Structure 1
């Protein structure tokens, strides 16, 4: 096998796929021979891990890969998620059934807030999160704001900084001349932090999908 190439494999566990069977399940055991760490060491015990994959049709995978001209890995993912015919998979990949964003409560207020800062040429900072949905949503918002003519900044805290909007970050952004903090994937529970931003003269728009607490931040939000 040429260097750098890997055998065709299950998209979830990288075990070489069989060529004959029509459906199969795979099992992976990691850390073979690992031993339990004594509890007095203060470390988490290491147990042999077992990862099982739900059986799926390799014939359907081969058909999708050929008819849609997509990779075997992508075809495997589609089949395992129920998009196992070319027609159904094409509709899913086309993503034509998009949710109307104006159906969100408060969207008109949120849009007007952003557009007002665009007209005033304020400094807009997108505050994201360090996981994949936080990073991706930050990138999307930054690109949209640039398309609208803004020159936004962004801030993604490290895991050492902790999750979400912090008072220290709010004060630093205020000192740097920010006019609007637009959160992505965080701040639905940042009541005190948003209050501090308002004290410092900043507007805040929260976009978050996490479960809210008993109190909400005193600012426009999309949830």
Structure 2
């Protein structure tokens, strides 16, 4: 009788040990599958990041020719409804002030050799958000490695550095620019020799005669970019 009880206990103990080993094996298998899933997901993410195309950019024309760069920057000042109407005195004064300071910044910075003109497309609320269009005779070398496309992101970093340098050098004493607010929205490439032959813009005079031939394209950009 004692042997029978002992045998039953041994059998139960063996079953419990087997069930425990089975659970451990199942748990190990689940952990292994989770590790494999994480590895596969990691490889997929790496491939997407590696093979993803550059930031969207309009590559009409050639990158060796003239370029129109459109973007925004924020001024830390109060917005008024007069800034929505480009016929008001307040609009024109701020437009001239912005262009005057920024022309000096670009002319005296790394873009000086390539700078052609700067234009304000409009303002909107959010302190004061300025929509601007910068015209260059060509994109300067050194923004990216040779043969790489210039994207909105890397040109945005380049323009932001130019403006920050202008602030640090005291070239924007009366313009409260948020130094981290620069954003490049669109880059448009023009056909070679498409810029008018007039002298590049030096200071705002209300006429912008040197960029008159670009007005239709500027108007389309304004209608596209302004909300």
Q: Same fold (TM over 0.5)?
A: no
TM-score tier, shorter chain, comes to under 0.3
Specify which structure has the bigger relative contact order, considering alpha-carbon pairs within 8 angstroms and separated by 6 or more residues: 2
Asked which structure has the greater CA Rg, the reply is 2
Higher helix share: 2
Tell me the TM-score normalised to structure 2 length: 0.20
Tell me the TM-score normalised to structure 1 length: 0.20
